[in-house]
């Protein structure tokens, strides 16, 4: 449907129908009114619009924002931009389990606080944050609450009304839609300034000709996720547990970061003492497995993961940690092959590692 969805001619209206079908299906994933869904280019733009749009809509001379130290760069760097504009930002620490304590959010509140922004599930650990409790604190204080739900939507049930949030970001490619499409839930009545300027598209929230194929694909992916959520989440969680147990059984001096917290079913983060995570990434890549030593949006960074440092890991252990992500196409056979590849790579690299020798001696 190549017509412009904002045109009134026949082809434009066909495109509009597909756009709105995608909006309805996306709204069903989030349990909201379709009119509360804004289509954008992805999770990063959704986070930017939510945070910049709400804070800049306030005219007070003093403004304050609360977020956490384990957020995605899409949130952290947006907050730093607001700091350059004169907004005060409090970065609440997460606990060693990878979860933020709601009491710390409450203690950070000020009379001039206008927004709280916290992720639903961490992108490196998979740890699920206490969103309902934080939302209750925000409501009591009369403060808007934005949630980065990119890592949660499609993995765990998301009902924005039950959660009590005002804004919720999602990204299409995390649901197996194409890259370059995302959405932001904006609760009806929420004040939100546009951060881009042009036409009056998306209820004047986001100008520009709508990405109809992307929106239709996101909607369809959302509908599939809704249909299969319970069974698929259980299956992938079983694969994650199989992966963790297999690696822990075959590789000494390793462990799961954030293991004791509620987590999304698809993500695990494992440290391998005495090794460099980047070396493991390369070794496993050569064996046909794609893993990560941090956020994909921070690839190429020489610093260890800010998330792992924020929960109290040493720089050495943070550098020695790998994130494994599982999806609908993965099988038990693939997981078993990955376990073998991890064990083989760890053994090979540790033979060359003077750091691991020191660790082994220290543990004897």
Annotated active-site residue in 32, 79, 254, 297? 297
The sheet carrying 182-186 orders its strands as 37-40, 182-186, 167-171, 144-148, 113-119, 64-68, 88-92
| Bridge partner residues of 255 (DSSP) | 271
- Cα–Cα distances (Å) from 96 to 93, 203, 219, in that order, read 9, 42, 37
Q: How far apart are CA 134 and CA 146, in angstroms?
A: 10
The two structure tokens encoding residue 14: 């066909």
Question: Residue 92: which H helix or E strand, with range?
Answer: strand 88-92
164 neighbors 139 (Cβ within 8 angstroms): yes
Q: How far apart are CA 322 and CA 272, in angstroms?
A: 8
- Which residues contact residue 282 at a Cβ distance below 8 angstroms, ignoring those fewer than 6 apart? none
Annotate 215-249 with b (16+ C-beta within 10 A) or e (fewer). bbbbbbbbbbbbeebeebbebbbebbebbbebbee
79 is an active site residue: no
β-pairing, 113-119 vs 88-92, is unpaired
Q: How far apart are CA 184 and CA 301, in angstroms?
A: 28
| Bridge partner residues of 92 (DSSP) | 68
190 neighbors 167 (Cβ within 8 angstroms): yes
Q: How far apart are CA 243 and CA 99, in angstroms?
A: 23
Catalytic residues: 297
């Amino acid at each position: 449907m190549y017509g412009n969805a904002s045109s009134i001619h026949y082809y434009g209206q066909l495109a509009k129908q597909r756009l709105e079908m995608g909006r309805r299906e996306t709204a069903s994933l989030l349990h909201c009114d379709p009119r509360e869904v804004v289509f954008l280019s992805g999770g990063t733009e959704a986070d930017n619009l939510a945070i910049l749009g709400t804070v800049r809509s306030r005219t007070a001379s003093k403004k304050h924002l609360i977020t956490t130290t384990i957020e995605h760069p899409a949130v952290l760097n947006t907050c730093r931009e607001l700091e350059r504009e004169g907004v005060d930002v409090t970065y609440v620490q997460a606990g060693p389990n990878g979860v933020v304590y709601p009491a710390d959010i409450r203690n950070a509140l000020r009379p001039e606080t206008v927004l709280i922004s916290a992720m639903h599930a961490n992108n490196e650990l998979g740890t699920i944050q206490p969103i309902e409790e934080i939302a209750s604190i925000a409501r009591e204080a009369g403060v808007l609450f934005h949630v980065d739900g990119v890592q949660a939507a499609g993995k765990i049930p998301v009902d924005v009304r039950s959660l009590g949030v005002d804004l919720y970001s999602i990204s299409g490619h995390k649901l197996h839609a194409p890259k370059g499409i995302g959405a932001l839930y904006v609760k009806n009545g929420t004040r939100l300034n546009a951060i881009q300027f042009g036409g009056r598209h998306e209820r004047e929230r986001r100008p520009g000709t709508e990405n109809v194929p992307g929106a239709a694909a996101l909607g369809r992916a959302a509908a599939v996720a809704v249909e299969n959520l319970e069974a698929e989440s259980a299956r992938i969680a079983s694969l994650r547990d199989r992966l963790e147990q297999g690696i822990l059984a075959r590789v000494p001096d390793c462990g799961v970061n954030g293991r004791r917290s509620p987590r999304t079913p698809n993500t695990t983060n494992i440290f391998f003492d005495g090794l460099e995570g980047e070396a493991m990434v390369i070794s496993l890549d050569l064996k046909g497995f794609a893993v990560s030593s941090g956020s994909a949006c921070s690839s190429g960074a020489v610093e260890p993961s800010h998330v792992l440092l924020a929960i109290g890991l040493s720089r050495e252990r943070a550098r020695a940690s790998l994130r494994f992500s599982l999806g609908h196409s993965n099988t038990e056979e693939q997981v078993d092959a990955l376990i073998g590849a991890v064990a083989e790579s760890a053994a090979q690299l540790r033979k060359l590692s003077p750091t691991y020798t020191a660790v082994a001696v220290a543990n004897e």
